[in-house]
Amino acid sequence: MALNQKFIENISYFVSNNFSLRKLTLSWSQIKSNDLLLLLESLKKVMHLQYLDLSAIPFEGHKAAELTGLITEHIKFNTSLVHLNMSYCNLDDMELMAIIMAMKKSKSLLVVHLSGNSMKSKTKDKLLGTLRSTADPKSDANYVSFNSFSSKFL
């Protein structure tokens, strides 16, 4: 069952005006692309969000680039975000590369889940290289998971 427009508007308002919100889980919500755009736009004001789970929400069609753009902006500029789950979002290599490039700019991201997306070996290699170059070698918290594969990347 898809979420109705009024519900999305209420959630977007709540998200953008709740300064104590630390965790947002939308996984398996069957949210439509236009509604997800509205919700992700509201995240621009939420720089204290630490955990974002968008797993199993398909980023497809003509809105995929816009959705990915909003996520990458959040990755780059939210200095509190430590955990991102985008497993099974139907991300292609181009969208995954955009996320990888945003991860290079993140000052806080520790955990990223990308399992179940169509990721070529070249993209996996780029992801691991990016993570190795930006990781804190003293931290045990640097993990990535993709395609049923978890790896400590240091």
pLDDT value at position 126?
A: 79
CATH number reported for the structural domain that contains residue 32 in this entry: 3.80.10.10
Report the mean per-residue pLDDT for the chain.
Answer: 83
pLDDT value at position 135?
A: 60
pLDDT value at position 98?
A: 93
Q: Which two tokens stand for residue 88?
A: 């099974």
pLDDT digits (tens, 9 = 90+) for 31-59: 888 889 999 999 888 899 999 999 999 98
Low-confidence ranges of the chain (pLDDT < 70): 1-3, 131, 134-154
Structurally, the chain folds into a number of domains equal to 1
pLDDT value at position 153?
A: 41
Phi, then psi, of 120 in degrees rounded to 5: -80, 160
pLDDT value at position 149?
A: 44
- Give the number of other Cβ atoms within 10 Å of residue 35's Cβ: 20
Q: Under a CB-based contact definition with an 8 Å cutoff, are residues 30 and 1 in contact? A: yes
Given strand 51-53, what is the order of strands in its sheet?
23-25, 51-53, 83-85, 111-113, 143-146, 149-152
Q: How far is it, in rounded angstroms, from Cα 143 to Cα 109?
A: 10
Length of the chain: 154
pLDDT value at position 45?
A: 83
CA triple 27-105-89, angle to 5 deg: 20
pLDDT value at position 131?
A: 67
Q: Which domain holds residue 126?
A: 5-152
